Amino acid sequence: MSRQGFDICRDRMNTPTFLAMLPDVFGLRGLDIGCGEGTNTRLVASRGAAMTGLDVSRRFVEHARDHEESAGLGIEFIVGDAAALPMPDESFDFVMSTMCLMDVPDPDAVLKQAYRVLGPGGFLQFSITHPCFQTPKLRWLEDGSGEVDGLLVGDYFAGRADVEEWTF
């Protein structure tokens, strides 16, 4: 995955699509909720946004800060709870979150916090997984040379539900 430098879903699908939909952010103040190791935060900062990244994982934020030391994009990385953002009202021109909101205990609280820290005319852009990618028979497909080139989604209409509990 990303610690190894390659995440096929992120690198081939999620990030390119997310960035293609992002408007011009040059000169804007942005918050990345659930920034992880800061990959997407850095990509958006390289477009001229003054970025702050927030993640609940101290270890991920430490990795993000290590990358920032060499990248020098002026990003501030913070350990914090997205449901209780440690920023004043109207602090940002935009808030983004890639592949995070489906993993937080209270998405409604996070969205309310995002709204609170957005300034007038600000926007929120986020991505989450589609339920078809959380099925019991999910598996990667490979071509003849062993390269991953697809994803098999099975039992999508099986009618079962899974509940995941996360503790931090």
User: In order of start, what are the domains of the chain with their CATH numbers?
Assistant: 2-127 (3.40.50.150), 132-168 (no CATH)
Q: Lowest mean pLDDT: which of 66-75, 110-119, 139-148?
A: 139-148
pLDDT above 80 for 5: no
**How many Å apart are CA 159 and CA 121, to the nearest integer?**
41
Q: Summarize pLDDT for 102-135 with one digit per residue, the tens.
A: 788 899 999 999 999 999 999 999 888 766 566 6
pLDDT above 90 for 139: no
Name residues whose C-beta falls within 8 Å of residue 18's C-beta, 6 or more positions apart in sequence: 40, 96, 98, 125, 127
**pTM, rounded to two decimals:** 0.77
Q: Return the percentage of the chain with pLDDT > 90, whole number.
A: 60
- Render 57-122 in DSSP notation, one character per residue: -HHHHHHHHHHHHHH----EEEE--GGG-SS-TT-EEEEEEES-GGGSS-HHHHHHHHHHHEEEEE
pLDDT on residue 150: 74
